[in-house]
Amino acid sequence: MTALRPEREDLYGGGSPYEPSAGARPHPHGRPAGQPADPPTAPLPPLPDGPRTARPPRAAEGPAPARTPREPLTAPLPRITDGPRTARLPRITDEPLTAPLPRIGDEPPAAPFPPVDDETMALRVVPDRAEAGRTGEPLRASGAAPGAAATPVTPGGRAARRKAAKRRGGRRTPTPPPAARDPQRPLTRVEARRQARLRKPSPATLASRAIGELFITTGVLMLLFVTYQLWWTNVRAHAQAGNATHRLQDDWASGKRSPGVFEPGQGFAILHIPKLDVVAPIAEGISNKRVLDKGMVGHYGEAPLKTAMPQDRTGNFGLAAHRNTHGEPFRYINRLTPGDAVVVETQDTYFVYRVTSTLPVTSPSNVSVLDPVPPGSGFTRPGRYITLTTCTPEFTSKYRLIVWGKMVQERPRAKGKPDALIE
């Protein structure tokens, strides 16, 4: 099909690839130099004149007409070498490259734009757009060095920047922490003043410290006071009451004491309440300092609240003691019920009483509970009675709790303890 090739310049140095010109190198894909080209085997018929029309349809009947043989070509086609010769085009590999092309990875990456987290800073930075457009360099702040990193600026005015910040959710890029200071470098005057201010506590800090120390001190003092009242006073009163009981029993055994009139604060009897496991000395008077605070039971023996003694033929033997703190001998007398025994031991005799009634609450000024025949006790005539008084409710002295009893037995100590103390 070489006859259908159009006329063109020889791209391989001129001449036909089958008949090279003088001095030309043989083509690597052509015929050997000096070998003539093969003639065409059969000439092509000439093209018909006039415009080409559609082929008429073939008749449905009859045999196909015989084909007319094509006439051979009378003149050969012009060869492509008949045109003017042009200069040979240089081959790509004839001359080596003088310098290698730069690789994409060899160029240093451009510095990224630093984030702008301050709106006022973005307003102050004005990029030199005209210079950037002429030179092709990235935008940079006016007056900045050519190699300095560019600062991005949101296009538009302040309103546009605010809208962009709202779209970002109002979050700003956190400012990186300042670099650590070199410990070898001396402090400047400003840094020294700043550190001195940080070390110096503020007035509010000093006031809060003082108030905190005051509260702590008050709390410690209150704790110590409660410990003293609820624990130490009982320890000391129990020790004092026990010593007084032992001295009184020793004096009775040695005969140093004799029945009669006793001085205020002087012990003369011992109170036993078996149900409550109470054993406490009884002293004359109801003074807190001389009697009650020492863990002893006081006898109403001074005017105007003077009551009878156990050995009297008739009368009301009135006693008082602490319910809380200072030995608290009467703390649980509210648990006494009618029939419980209360024994008063003297130098010569045991006096046994039985509880008859209780008055849970009464006023501290109700001194009628100490009468020879106390109202509300159930007694209707004179007799030998006992009255126990203490404070109520616990840990307060707002009211008084009263317990009454009636003597049922008088037993000499020489005959031994009564049954109420043996049971």
Task: Write the Ramachandran bin of 250: left for phi over 0, alpha for psi from -120 to 50, otherwise beta.
Answer: alpha
Among residues 140, 272, 299, 322, the one annotated as catalytic is 322
Question: Residue 151 above 70 pLDDT?
Answer: no
Neighbours of 381 (CB within 10 A): 7
391 is an active site residue: yes
Mean pLDDT across the chain? 76
Contact by Cβ (8 Å): 300, 308: no
Stretch among 139-143, 230-234, 314-318 having the lowest mean pLDDT? 139-143
- Residue range 134-144: mean pLDDT, rounded: 47
**CA–CA separation, 238 and 233 (whole Å):** 8
Confirm whether 224 is domain-assigned: no
400 is an active site residue: yes
Beta bridge partners of 404: 357, 387
pLDDT in tens, 105-131: 555 555 555 555 544 444 444 444 444
Domain count, the chain: 1
Name the token pair of 46.
């000439």
pLDDT-derived band at 23, boundaries 50, 70, 90 = very low
Contact by Cβ (8 Å): 297, 320: yes
350's enclosing H/E stretch is strand 349-362
pLDDT-derived band at 163, boundaries 50, 70, 90 = confident
- Residue range 330-346: mean pLDDT, rounded: 96
Among 141-150, 191-200, 217-226, top mean pLDDT goes to 217-226
Contact by Cβ (8 Å): 414, 394: no
pLDDT-derived band at 90, boundaries 50, 70, 90 = low
Sequence-separated (6 or more) residues with CB below 8 Å from residue 236: 295
User: What pLDDT sits at residue 127?
Assistant: 47
Contact by Cβ (8 Å): 38, 1: no
166's enclosing H/E stretch is helix 158-167
Confirm whether 104 is domain-assigned: no
**CA–CA separation, 290 and 307 (whole Å):** 19
Confirm whether 16 is domain-assigned: no
Among residues 323, 384, 391, 411, the one annotated as catalytic is 391
- Residue range 173-196: mean pLDDT, rounded: 75
pLDDT-derived band at 192, boundaries 50, 70, 90 = confident
**CA–CA separation, 346 and 225 (whole Å):** 37
Confirm whether 347 is domain-assigned: yes
Name the token pair of 213.
């120390």
Confirm whether 368 is domain-assigned: yes
Whole-prediction pTM value? 0.54
- Residue range 79-107: mean pLDDT, rounded: 55
Among residues 326, 331, 400, 411, the one annotated as catalytic is 400
User: What pLDDT sits at residue 126?
Assistant: 45
pLDDT-derived band at 47, boundaries 50, 70, 90 = low
Sequence-separated (6 or more) residues with CB below 8 Å from residue 399: 361, 362, 363, 364, 391, 392, 393
User: What pLDDT sits at residue 316?
Assistant: 96
Phi, psi (degrees; rounded to nearest 5) at 315 = 140, 175
Question: Residue 141 above 50 pLDDT?
Answer: no
Which of 308, 264, 261 shows the shortest CA–CA distance to 289?
A: 264
Confirm whether 358 is domain-assigned: yes
**CA–CA separation, 5 and 3 (whole Å):** 6
Question: Residue 34 above 90 pLDDT?
Answer: no
- Residue range 270-275: mean pLDDT, rounded: 96
User: What pLDDT sits at residue 12?
Assistant: 43
Confirm whether 213 is domain-assigned: no
The range of the structural domain enclosing residue 376 comes to 238-422
pLDDT-derived band at 257, boundaries 50, 70, 90 = confident
pLDDT-derived band at 14, boundaries 50, 70, 90 = very low
pLDDT-derived band at 13, boundaries 50, 70, 90 = very low
Q: Specify the amino acid at residue 17.
A: P
Following DSSP, what letter does each residue of 222-233 receive, concatenated?
Answer: HHHHHHIIIIIH
Question: Residue 17 above 50 pLDDT?
Answer: no
Confirm whether 11 is domain-assigned: no
399: domain CATH number? Answer: 2.40.260.10
Among 2-6, 118-122, 347-351, top mean pLDDT goes to 347-351
31 is an active site residue: no
